[in-house]
Amino acid sequence: MQNLLVALTQTPAPSPSGTLRPGLSEDMITPGNWGFAATAFVVLLTIFLIIDMVRRLRRIRYRAQVEESRAGEEPRTGDGPGGPEASGSSQKGPGASGRDRADGRP
């Protein structure tokens, strides 16, 4: 710890004005093509992630609406003889989560 403090006190302070090589101005210093490519990649990736997130949130909202409408219709359709269990509209079983296909979509 003490060595670190000694090293910090012995390093010279940076000069207040920036020093550039002769023939260069501040306008000539740019990140270059690689910097532009990296920034463009980050921007495109962010746009893609936002679009994907909005699509996923929309799916969740639509699934919730469909489940609400199914829950609201179930008592009316299952009033026949034997109740809802006899008509086969029970949600207790392999398809109870609302996912009927192997890929997870209803």
Task: Between 59 and 1, name the one with better pLDDT.
Answer: 59
- What six digits make up the tokens of 78? 């299952």
Show Cβ contacts of residue 18 under 8 Å, excluding neighbours closer than 6 positions: 26
Q: Is the pTM of this model over 0.75?
A: no
- Model confidence at 20, pLDDT cuts 50, 70, 90, reads confident
Which residue type, as a one-letter code, is found at position 50? I
Cα–Cα distances (Å) from 4 to 12, 13, 14, 62, 80, in that order, read: 14, 16, 18, 60, 84
